[in-house]
Amino acid sequence: MKKELDRMRDMALFVQVAALGSLTRAAESTGVPASTLSRRISEFESQIGVKLLHRSTRRLALTDVGQRYLDRITEVVDRARAISGELEEEMARPTGQLRVCAPVDFSAYFPDAALADYCASHPGVRVELHCSAELPDLATEPFDVCIATVEPPRASRMVRRRVGMAGYQLYASPAYLRAFGEPTHPADLARHRCLALPDSGPGLALANGPASAQVDVAPLLVLNNLLALENLLRDGLGIGPLTPGRADRLVRQGALLPVLPGWALPSRPILALTASRALPARVRGFIDLLAARVVT
C-alpha cells in the first residue's frame, strides 16, 4: 500500500513539474525543495523504466513518452486531488449522512431535544438513528458511531470515548411501598420484588459513602431497557434502578419515591464507540453534543 501511495505522490509531482516547466517553480508551488523534486522524479523514472523529462541547466522538456504519460495521468491526478479535497472538507465541515446505532432506551440518558438540537445546528447532515439492544460490528456494519451502556468485547478494536457516567438509585411507586412496606436497610431488599438491569452481577451491590452492602436478591425481572423498567416501576411491579436525572421528574410528580435514599448502585459508563480515531466533523460534533447533554 505504501508503495502505491508513494507512486501516486510522484505522479502528482511529475504533473506539477511538467505543468510549470521548472523545478524551481514547482518547488515554490508544492513546498518541496527543488533537489528533492529532482531526486523523486529520477527515482520515479527508474521505477517505471521510462525517461519522462529532458533536463538542461536552462529548462525542462517532456520526452515523447513523457508527453503521452502526462496526457494519461493528468486526469487521474486531478480526480485524486478532488477526492482528497472532498475528504478534507468532510473532516473539517459537518456534511453528509450520520448513521448512529444506539440502545433502545437512548432517550433515558439524553434529553429528547438533543437530536433536534443537533439537526438544527448541523443543517448539512442527515441523521439516521438505529436503535438496537445489540452492539454492532463497526468494522462491517455501516454505522459512524455506536452509543452504548455496556463495554464492548475485549477483543473488539472499537475506539471508545466515555461521554458520561450513569449513576443508579432505587425507586418504587407509592402504591408498591404502601402494599409491601418501605425498606429501611439494604438487607430488607431480600424480602422485596426487585427489578434489575443485565450484568448487575450476583445480587445487588450498594454503597452509601464509605458504607457498602451486598444483598442476595433473585430479581423478579431483568430488563435491558431503562424506559420499560421505568414504566413497570410506575405500575407498582417492584423496586428497581433508575438514573436520578430520569427519576427526579417522576418523584416531583409523585409517580415514584426513592428507596433507601443515599444508597446507590454502581455507575456504568455511557460510551461512544467508533471504528477509528479519525472522525469526520459530523461525528465529532454529535459525540461532543451528547457529552454536553447527557442526563444521569
Indicate whether 182 and 88 sit together in one domain.
Answer: no
- Kindly report the CATH number assigned to the domain that includes residue 169: 3.40.190.290
pTM: 0.69
Indicate whether 179 and 123 sit together in one domain.
Answer: yes
The rounded distance, in Å, linking the Cα atoms of 188 and 204 is: 12
Indicate whether 102 and 176 sit together in one domain.
Answer: yes
Indicate whether 124 and 233 sit together in one domain.
Answer: yes
pLDDT for position 70: 84
Q: Which of 72, 92, 112 is the last residue of a domain?
A: 92
Q: Which of 92, 110, 126 is the last residue of a domain?
A: 92
Mean pLDDT is lowest, of 39-53, 115-129, 173-187, 239-253, for 39-53
Is residue 99's pLDDT more than 90? yes
Indicate whether 46 and 185 sit together in one domain.
Answer: no
Domain count, the chain: 2
Full residue range of the structural domain in which residue 251 is found: 94-295
Q: Are the C-beta atoms of residues 202 and 158 closer than 8 Å to each other?
A: no
The rounded distance, in Å, linking the Cα atoms of 183 and 181 is: 7
What does the block give as the cell for 63?
520526452
pLDDT, tens digit, 9 for 90 and up, residues 191-231: 999 999 987 677 889 999 999 999 999 899 999 999 999 99
Indicate whether 125 and 244 sit together in one domain.
Answer: yes
pLDDT, tens digit, 9 for 90 and up, residues 250-268: 999 999 999 999 999 999 9
